[in-house]
Structure 1
């Protein structure tokens, strides 16, 4: 029997995840379907069937995905784009017998997408330390937040409350040499005055989080849980220099993953990002999906995408024994797309 899996608009790393699931240790057979607005996107290269998807929002997008699943007799749907909308209309997939790898706690999912709401939701739960932050939407509020954080002894950064990856993230650095930067690499830094002048051009802007800059070691903790949120495995991945990562057995971080799993009950694959400050790991964000660097974590010997698929299928999974102490990196690999 072959299980049909559909992945909608994903990152290019879906190429790795498809192949990991396909090359699973149990010899289970899978057939992959993928859609993306760009038919030449690298996420589609490993799929058996590729198609384009329209620019839709809300229920219309969920209906497009449900119709695609129905027409192609999809067994499992692993979404990335518009996960919150797909969760909101999950009944459309239940009606056609397609299992969806998505958190069905809509309030929790919405909060994880908007970082300030998520920080608020975690207050008082004692799961993980939260950075000092303020939410602003006017230039005057931005100035006040910046001054308060500086007075508290912090370096300062800011980012949109609703963004993915590093989009919109900036570090405030008032010692920048603008001329020198013109001859150097693109930087994430800006001065307070530049940011303030730009934000002052409009009466009100989309919410920004102005927060303490965490300057210590950064970790991603890749996790897999059952449909009920029972943690199966968690593997910390430390960002080192350049493209180098270390897979480390860090009890403090594993405890954080365990506490978050027990409290929030996030199902299937999710990723916790923390960064140290003064010896304390503080939360950056939690992504309720497979992370962009999960394929590196899988060098631990644990096929995490396949574990997540097994969890979605409702299979009993024995907790794996990951190998730690691994240093890893990545390089580009050319792929023939058509011939």
Structure 2
């Protein structure tokens, strides 16, 4: 972090907005040093960050705070992985497994014995998340050390992301959005929804964990329609632009908070939606932009 501090002083930078998961712990460790030099980091302290970045610790603390979570176990070896998957209904029911610390769907697998393997082979892209317990174990047996895995109840319902902002354990704003179409973990079609259940659970998380600055949460509905917390993103999230379009420009509000200015959330445009699409840029042989 000394190099980052030097850049901040040289360029007169007063605010650093968190974007990448792997940077969060180092930044939170250096938060005091940055503050002493007049640089604001709108993130939680290190002890809170270690909970938010660990899906197992987060599930435990969220449950204590009164937030709905899927049934879960932490497997530390192959025998536990088999046993916990069975306890959660596998192979009769699908089970979700994921590393406690990861992002962008890395390490995520949905164990489903009833999926047509031929259909998966011929019709699904090789980046698919479906597998079986035996297939996963065959891979893990080749590891020098077993990587801990969170074994969770599979949630088949709608998925939501919350863009939120906190001020020393108090919720400033919470904007839920329904993820209507997802590709490789990225929302391509989403809509802002006024779901009081999600807003209230966000408040419970912020107060219960003493969260500060920017934070994001992901929920998914169970068979019964109950939204359950599946992970936290204590940083600016990929589709925060939708929340800005709905009238809550969180990056802008974070900067204003850093400068000690009064912030006003304003009216949220509930129902605002976004669609993401691929575009192209053309360049000639010299690398200059080429109109098409």
| CA offset digits 1:244-263 (Å, max 9, x no partner) | 21211111111112222233
1:97 corresponds to: 38
CA distance, structure 2, for counterparts of residue 238 and residue 247 of structure 1 = 6
CA distance, structure 1, for counterparts of residue 79 and residue 90 of structure 2 = 17
| CA offset digits 1:136-176 (Å, max 9, x no partner) | 12211111111111179752010111001211111011133
* 2:276 is the alignment partner of 1:330: yes
Q: Does the C-alpha gap of structure 1 residues 313 and 333 become closer, same or farther in structure 2, counting only changes over 3 Å? A: farther
* 2:228 is the alignment partner of 1:282: yes
| CA offset digits 1:216-242 (Å, max 9, x no partner) | 11111111233x243222111001145
The unaligned stretches of length 5 or more in structure 1 are 1-61
Displacement of 1:336: 8.0
Q: Is the 8 A contact 2:248 2:265 kept in 1?
A: no
| CA offset digits 1:278-328 (Å, max 9, x no partner) | 121110112111111111222212222111221222221123210112232
CA distance, structure 2, for counterparts of residue 153 and residue 313 of structure 1 = 55
* 2:52 is the alignment partner of 1:112: yes
Displacement of 1:211: 0.8
Cα-Cα RMSD:
2.3
The unaligned stretches of length 5 or more in structure 2 are 183-187
CA distance, structure 2, for counterparts of residue 307 and residue 157 of structure 1 = 36
Q: Does the C-alpha gap of structure 1 residues 136 and 90 become closer, same or farther in structure 2, counting only changes over 3 Å? A: same
CA distance, structure 2, for counterparts of residue 236 and residue 95 of structure 1 = 34
SS at match of 2:27: helix
Q: Does the C-alpha gap of structure 1 residues 336 and 294 become closer, same or farther in structure 2, counting only changes over 3 Å? A: farther
1:157 corresponds to: 96
* 2:24 is the alignment partner of 1:78: no
1:193 corresponds to: 134
Stretch deviating more after TM superposition (251-260 or 163-172): 251-260
CA distance, structure 1, for counterparts of residue 175 and residue 19 of structure 2 = 21
1:264 corresponds to: 209
CA distance, structure 2, for counterparts of residue 264 and residue 117 of structure 1 = 11
Q: Is the 8 A contact 1:135 1:208 kept in 2?
A: yes
2:218 corresponds to: 273
Alignment of 1:39-50 (within 5 A): none
CA distance, structure 1, for counterparts of residue 231 and residue 190 of structure 2 = 19
CA distance, structure 1, for counterparts of residue 257 and residue 14 of structure 2 = 14
* 2:126 is the alignment partner of 1:174: no
The TM-score normalised by the length of structure 1 is 0.75
SS at match of 1:143: helix
Q: What number of residue pairs does the alignment pair up?
A: 275
Which protein, 1 or 2, shows the higher relative CO under an 8 Å CA cutoff with sep ≥ 6? 2
The TM-score normalised by the length of structure 2 is 0.86
| CA offset digits 1:168-203 (Å, max 9, x no partner) | 111011133444333323221001211122223346
Alignment of 1:23-34 (within 5 A): none
Q: Does the C-alpha gap of structure 1 residues 182 and 292 become closer, same or farther in structure 2, counting only changes over 3 Å? A: same
CA distance, structure 2, for counterparts of residue 325 and residue 108 of structure 1 = 32
CA distance, structure 2, for counterparts of residue 145 and residue 310 of structure 1 = 47
